[in-house]
Amino acid sequence: MSPRRVLALAASLTVAGLVAATTVTPASARSAAGAADPCPGSGAIPIGSLAAAVRSGCSLVGRMVTDGRISVMVPPAGMSVAGDGVGTHGEVRGLTVTNTGTTVRAVRDSAGAVSLGHTTSARRGSPPACKDRTSNLEGPKWKTGLRYHVNLKGLPGRLHQSKVVKQIRKANGNMRTGRNTCGKPRLRTPASVYLGRTKAKPDIGAGGPSCRKGNSQNVVGFGNLPGGLLGWTCYWFFGSRMAGSDMLIDNGPNLVTNLPKNCTNKWDFEGTVTHEWGHAYGLAHSGSGHDNLTMQAILSPCSTYARTLGLGDWIGMNKMYGHRH
């Protein structure tokens, strides 16, 4: 067994151990003496009610924390879970939930976009991609290579399977190596391995979307994302160490692997997935007014610009992984 396999196994055992430790004493067991159950409810917790839920002293592990339509499941102690995506318009705002062992915190992605009727004109009002140094990091990064599978269940029939897999792999390379037109060198991100097709599903609920429990397998899959979302990535981490990430790509009519000649309201598949890999590798959104960067939360239609990293995107990845000299 290679060192990398051993490390991956150790990581998954850690997760399993934590899950087991937190489920030894279910909250329901405490009411066995006949007293009123001090921990009623197993439903979702709106982000505004989280502090009160923490004060109740009940275990919140496995409960969903919701912020508007999106939700993230409270992880075992020591772990964090986050979701973030990219859209055609509207609001795209990520959510991170951390279980420190003594408290549970939820943090909104502060650079998330709120935009209506986004068009290509927004890109003209922003600095050019190679002049915009804006970068935001989520916090964790990969210490070893990101190994992933692709699940093509739910892929729209109009998209070719081989083309889709090819673009998912190219998109991974775009982000991982820092492909750019700004003259910046290749990044030293740990090597990534495409492990082939799988029947395992990303641990992401499409409605919402929601980030669930997670596991040791990283899966890219397809689903019906709401509200103009083109992609959504959930990632699971321990402090600064990324442990897993899944990606859900929208199966609606917006994404195309080849932009049509007379293009309106179509978005580039490879560019969209490049953005999502950015989340998987640890990048957060660039914020509004930075519409030529790949990590802008709202992707402009009818362009392949997001396939190459802007200066800020490259700088963010370089801060985490460094580059070749």
Q: How far apart are CA 244 and CA 214, in angstroms?
A: 7
Q: Least distance from C-beta 267 to Zn ion, angstroms? A: 13
- Strand 95-99 with 104-108, pairing: antiparallel
Q: Least distance from C-beta 235 to Zn ion, angstroms? A: 12
**Non-local CB neighbours of 134 within 8 Å, separated by 6+ positions:** 286, 287, 290, 293, 312
104 or 222: CB nearest Zn ion: 222
81 or 86: CB nearest Zn ion: 86
60 or 311: CB nearest Zn ion: 311
In angstroms, the Cα distances linking 219 to 56, 210, 214, 240, 245 are: 36, 15, 10, 21, 7
62 or 227: CB nearest Zn ion: 227
Q: Where are the beta strands (DSSP E) in 47-175?
A: 64-67, 70-73, 80-87, 90-92, 95-99, 104-108, 113-115, 147-150
Q: What angle do CA 117, 135, 175 make, to 5 degrees?
A: 85
Q: Least distance from C-beta 208 to Zn ion, angstroms? A: 15
Q: Least distance from C-beta 7 to Zn ion, angstroms? A: 28
65 or 86: CB nearest Zn ion: 86
Q: Least distance from C-beta 275 to Zn ion, angstroms? A: 6
205 or 231: CB nearest Zn ion: 231
Q: Least distance from C-beta 310 to Zn ion, angstroms? A: 14
Range 67-96, binding Zn ion (CB under 5 A): 84-86
Q: Least distance from C-beta 132 to Zn ion, angstroms? A: 16
- Interface with Zn ion (CB under 5 A), residue total 3
**Non-local CB neighbours of 252 within 8 Å, separated by 6+ positions:** 156, 224, 225
Range 11-30, binding Zn ion (CB under 5 A): none
Q: Is 309 helix (H, G, I), strand (E, B) or coil?
A: strand
- Whose CB is nearest to Zn ion? 86
243 or 293: CB nearest Zn ion: 293
| Tally of CA atoms within 13 A in the half-sphere of 60 that contains its CB | 30
Is residue 74 within 8 Å of residue 67, measured between CB atoms? no
**Binding positions for Zn ion, rule: CB under 5 A:** 84-86
